[in-house]
Structure 1
Amino acid sequence: MNLREEAERRVDAKIKFQENLYKYLIVNTIIAVICIIFLQSFWLLAFVMFFWGIEVVDDFLKAYPLNDYREKMINKELSKMGD
């Protein structure tokens, strides 16, 4: 895989995460208002937040992998050692 394809894949993952996060926030706000006004309980909100939240976290980890952070730290330490 060349660098351009890898960059496109990463950008697509970040866009997917951001879109999913915005939808998550908007829909959960609407459900919270409905729960406050009509249901007087938050079981529906908790259910949606939990299960949809798992998907949002999964998208986050795909968009911003932890190994990239590790690689950046390694490169930073290597540059310090070279000075």
Structure 2
Amino acid sequence: MPTPLSSEEIDRLARKRAGAKLGWYIHATVYVLVNLLIFSMSQYAFGTRPWSLGPLLGWGVGLVLHGISVFVLGRGSSLRERMVQRERERIERSQSGR
């Protein structure tokens, strides 16, 4: 069982997680604003060629991966914690079997 965190460690971890989430929200906002601009330029300034879909999809993949790293695999997520716990148990079993 992991050792309990001190008040300072909890505060540091909470700030780090909040910063990661805020970073994703900023990333998503910039993504939407820039891609709205690119899309409007492609439609009104440069004709109707769908060239704006390339940046939209490419950057969208990056945004999704960023979200996964923050919300799914980030430190403290239930998936990550379960995986860490399983690895600890495996290591302890291998250590006790020696």
- Greater helix fraction, Structure 1 or Structure 2: 1
Q: Mark the runs of 5 or more structure 1 residues left unpaired by the alignment.
A: 72-83
Provide TM-score, normalisation by structure 2. 0.60
Give the structure 1 partner of residue 28 of structure 2.
21
Please point out which of 67, 71, 77 is paired with 1:68: 77
Runs of 4+ in 1 over 6 A off after TM superposition: none
Give aligned-pair identity as a percent. Answer: 19
Q: Is 1:42 paired with 2:44?
A: no
Compare CA radii of gyration and give the structure with the larger one.
2
Partner letter of residue 28 of structure 2?
L
Structure with the larger RCO, 1 or 2 (CA within 8 Å, 6+ apart): 1
Amino acid at match of 1:27: V
Q: TM-score, normalized by length of structure 1?
A: 0.70
Give the Å deviation of 1:38.
Answer: 2.4
Q: Residue type matched to 1:35 in 2? A: S
Output one character per residue of 1:37-83: Cα deviation in whole Å (capped at 9) or x when no partner.
Answer: 1221112x111112211221122112212573558xxxxxxxxxxxx
CA distance in 2, matches of 1:3, 1:65: 20
RMSD: 2.2
